[in-house]
Amino acid sequence: MIECMTFRMRGHEEASGVKYVPPELFEQWGQKDPVKNYEQYLIAEHVLTVAQVEDIKVETKSYIETELKIGSQAKPIVVDTAEEIRDVYSPPTPRRGDLTKTLIYSEDLKRMMFKTDSLRSSTFPPPSGFPEKGTNEVPEGADKRYIDGIKEALHQSMQKHPNLIIMGQDIAEYGGAFKITEGFVEEFGKERIRNTPICESAVVGAALGLSLEGYKAIMEMQFADFATVGFNQIINNLAKIHYRWGQNADVVIRMPTGGGVGAGPFHSQSNEAWFAHTPGLKVVYPSTAADAKGLLIAAINDPNPVMYFEHKALYRSVSGHVPSAYYEVEIGKARLVQSGDDISIITYGAGVHWAMDYAKNHPEISIHILDLRTLQPLDYTAIKEAVTETGKVLLLHEDTLIGGIGGEIAAWIGENCFDALDAPVLRCASLDTPIPFNLELEKNFMAYSRLDKYVNRLLEY
C-alpha cells in the first residue's frame, strides 16, 4: 500500500473553481506533489529519461482522447424498464446437482415442529401454540434453539466455503457478544475468524473488498443499531455495486435486532425498513430456529448483499426441530404458519410469536398467520393469498409505525387486492418513540401491547 499525503490542486468539481483556497497553498503543495516528485526521482536515478517521461504523457493523453472519441460515438440508450429491474441484483450462480448436497426448502416447512421456552422479559410474551415435540416423526436433526440454528449455519458454511471469512468485534477468542462464534477461531483460525476495530464503516468496506477479490464475507454488526455508522458503505457501495458496474457484493451482514430485553434506545431498535427501502439489498428476518439456519445458509450462498436480521430475544427462548443437513430456505418465500377464516395477520420476526400466542389465547377467533421471513424481496403471491383468505388484514411488526414495512405492504394490498378486502388494512406497530430502558415503558412501547385492540377493531368492522 502506498499512502500519499497530498492536496487537491483543482476544485471539488469543475464548476466550483478554487477561489476559496489561499493561493500560497497551491505553491506549498505543488512542491510536495508525490507524482511530480516521483517522476523527478526516477529521472535522477536514471530509471527514466526526460524524453521517456514526455513520451508516457503523450501516450496517456492520446489513449484518453481515443477512448473519449469512442464514447462520444455511442448510440443513444434504448430504455428497457424490465432490464433496469433485472440489473439491480446479481443472478445466482447455477449449481450442479449433488455437488452442493443442498436441500432447498421453498415451502412452509410443514414437517417442522417447534417448541418454545418462556422468554426472560415480560415485555416479550412467551410464544406458544407450537405442536409438542413428537407429534410428527422427522428422521433427522433435533430440537435446537434459534441461536443454535444460526451457529450451525455459520459452522457448516465455513466448512463448505474455504473462501468464507467472518469479521466482527470480539468474535474470535471471545466468541462475540452473544457467543455465536465461540470456538470458531480454534477450528478455522484467525485468518478466517477476524476481530475488527470498532469501526463499522471500515469493516463493511473490508467485506466488500473481500468480495471483489473472490471471497465470501460475513460481518457481525454487533447490534443492528450500529449500522448507522456504516450506512454509507451499505447504502451507496454494497447496494449499488452490481447495478453500477456488474460486480457482485458477496456479503452478509448479521444484524442482532429488536427489543424486549430492557436494552434501551441504542441497542434495541428495529431498523429493517431502512434497508428494505434500498434497491440492491436483500433483507431477511427469520422467526424460527429452522428458518434461522436455512435462511442464513441461503444468504451466504446468494451473490448479493444480504441484511440478515436475528432477534436477540429469540436467541435462547425459541427452539424447534432443525435438520442437521446443510440446507437452504429460499429467500423471497413467505411461510404459512396457520390457516384461518376470520382475519389474516401478516408479520415476521417476533411478531410471528406474538400472533401465535394471541391465537392460542383466543381460540374463538380463526386467525390466518403469514410469516414473511423475507422483507426484500417480498412474497406478493403469499400476501395476496392471505388477503383473499379472510378479507380482513392486520399488519403486525415490532418496528415503529411511521415508515415501517407495514405501510408499504398495506399500500400494495390497497392497489392490488382491493376487491378482496372486507375492511381497511390495519397496522399494529410499536410507538413512534425511542425504545425506553424501563421494562414497563418498554412493554407499553411494544406493538404486542396493542394487538388485542387492533384485532377487535378489525373483527368489528
CATH number, position 260: 3.40.50.970
d(CA 293, CA 354): 21
H or E element, residue 144: strand 142-145
Collapse the DSSP code of 166 into the 3-class scheme (helix H, G, I; strand E, B; otherwise coil) and give the result: strand
C-alpha cell at 148: 443454535
What pLDDT, on a 0 to 100 scale, did the predictor assign at position 392?
98
C-alpha cell at 181: 462464534
Looking at the 3D structure of the chain, how many domains does it have?
2
Domain assignment present for residue 451? The answer is yes
d(CA 430, CA 157): 35
Q: Does one domain contain both 380 and 414?
A: yes
**Which of 50-54's residues contact partners 24+ apart within 8 Å by CB, and which partners?**
none
Q: Does one domain contain both 189 and 279?
A: yes
Does the CA dihedral 355-356-361-366 come out positive or negative?
Answer: positive
Q: Does one domain contain both 363 and 390?
A: yes
What pLDDT, on a 0 to 100 scale, did the predictor assign at position 11?
82
Q: Does one domain contain both 298 and 379?
A: no
Distance of CA 34 to the CA centre of its chain: 41
DSSP-derived pairing of the beta strands 374-376 and 282-284: antiparallel
Q: Does one domain contain both 143 and 265?
A: yes
Compute the CA torsion angle 344, 349, 350, 355 (nearest 10 deg): 10
Collapse the DSSP code of 375 into the 3-class scheme (helix H, G, I; strand E, B; otherwise coil) and give the result: strand
461 residues of the chain, pLDDT tens digit each: 888 778 888 887 777 788 888 999 999 999 998 888 999 999 999 999 999 999 999 999 999 999 999 999 989 888 899 988 989 999 887 654 433 334 444 333 333 333 333 333 334 444 333 333 333 333 355 689 999 999 999 999 999 999 999 999 999 999 999 999 999 999 999 999 999 999 999 999 999 999 999 999 999 999 999 999 999 999 999 999 999 999 989 999 999 999 988 899 999 999 999 999 999 999 999 999 999 999 999 999 999 999 999 999 999 999 999 999 999 999 999 999 999 999 999 999 999 999 999 999 999 999 999 999 999 999 999 999 999 999 999 999 999 999 999 999 999 999 999 999 999 999 999 999 999 998 999 999 999 999 999 999 999 99
Does the CA dihedral 244-200-174-289 come out positive or negative?
Answer: negative
What pLDDT, on a 0 to 100 scale, did the predictor assign at position 121?
38
Global confidence as pTM: 0.83
What pLDDT, on a 0 to 100 scale, did the predictor assign at position 208?
97
Q: Which residues contact 26 (CB under 8 A, 6 or more apart)?
A: 9, 18
Which residue out of 155, 161, 242, 267 is catalytically annotated? 267
What pLDDT, on a 0 to 100 scale, did the predictor assign at position 185?
96
Domain assignment present for residue 18? The answer is no
Q: Does one domain contain both 193 and 231?
A: yes
What pLDDT, on a 0 to 100 scale, did the predictor assign at position 142?
63
Q: Does one domain contain both 186 and 325?
A: yes
Domain assignment present for residue 58? The answer is no
Residue 409 sits in a domain whose CATH number is 3.40.50.920
d(CA 148, CA 315): 8
- Among 68, 69, 39, 65, residue whose Cα is nearest residue 51: 39
Q: Does one domain contain both 239 and 173?
A: yes
Domain assignment present for residue 345? The answer is yes
What pLDDT, on a 0 to 100 scale, did the predictor assign at position 119?
36
- From first CA to last CA, the distance across the chain in angstroms is 67
Last-in-domain residue among 329, 358, 374:
329
Phi and psi, residue 246, nearest 5° = 70, 15
Domain assignment present for residue 325? The answer is yes
Give Dmax over CA atoms of the chain in angstroms: 91
Give one DSSP letter per residue of 180-199, joined into a string.
Answer: TTTTHHHHH-TTTEEE--S-
Q: Does one domain contain both 359 and 439?
A: yes
Q: Does one domain contain both 324 and 340?
A: no
Q: Which residues contact 153 (CB under 8 A, 6 or more apart)?
A: 292, 293, 294, 296, 297, 300
Domain assignment present for residue 272? The answer is yes
Q: Does one domain contain both 412 and 307?
A: no
Domain assignment present for residue 47? The answer is no
Phi and psi, residue 93, nearest 5° = -75, 130
Last-in-domain residue among 329, 352, 384:
329
Domain assignment present for residue 404? The answer is yes
311 has catalytic annotation: no
Q: Inter-axis angle of helices 451-460 and 350-361, to 10 degrees?
A: 60
Please give the residue range of the domain that contains residue 277.
Answer: 122-329
What pLDDT, on a 0 to 100 scale, did the predictor assign at position 93?
73
- Measured at the CA of 404, the angle between CA 400 and CA 405, to 5 degrees, comes to 140
d(CA 397, CA 348): 7
Distance of CA 39 to the CA centre of its chain: 46
What pLDDT, on a 0 to 100 scale, did the predictor assign at position 140?
52
Last-in-domain residue among 329, 357, 373:
329
C-alpha cell at 133: 415435540
d(CA 359, CA 190): 47
d(CA 416, CA 380): 10
Q: Does one domain contain both 229 and 290?
A: yes
